[in-house]
Amino acid sequence: MILFAALARIVFLIVTAITFSFSVIAYRRFRTRNSLLITAGFTLFFVHGLISIPELFLVTYDVDFTDSIHLLIDAIAILLLLLGILLGTMKETK
């Protein structure tokens, strides 16, 4: 079961890295506020995943994130993604 959890976290990190790279490429091409917010959200997910991976392999590595901190980081990332998506769908009125 521990092997499955470690493998799942690594696969999720790889998928997040791919999504993060696509969002960075999109931001570099379009340079809009919406793509910046979406890229910031995926950046938080990716960095959070990178920080938490070594604790699977190294006993001495101890970040000591509580579940509340994990939820806060994920909530901020989801909020940035939603803001980027919602601001992109709203039309500007003049």
* pLDDT of amino acid 91: 65
Total number of domains constituting the chain:
1
Please give the structure tokens belonging to residue 61: 């590595």
Domain membership flag for residue 40: yes
pLDDT in tens, 41-71: 999 999 998 888 877 777 777 777 788 998 9
Determine the residue type at 56: L
Give the residue numbers spanning the domain of 37. Answer: 2-88
Owner of token pair 């999109």:
26
Q: What is the CA radius of gyration of the chain?
A: 16
- Give the Cα-Cα-Cα angle 83, 89, 93 (nearest 5 degrees): 105
Please give the structure tokens belonging to residue 48: 């959070």
Domain membership flag for residue 94: no
Q: Smallest Cα–Cα separation from 42: which of 72, 93, 81?
A: 81
Domain membership flag for residue 68: yes
What's the CA gap between 39 and 20, in Å, rounded?
A: 7
Domain membership flag for residue 93: no
Domain membership flag for residue 31: yes
Domain membership flag for residue 21: yes
Inform me whether the pLDDT recorded for 94 exceeds 80. Answer: no
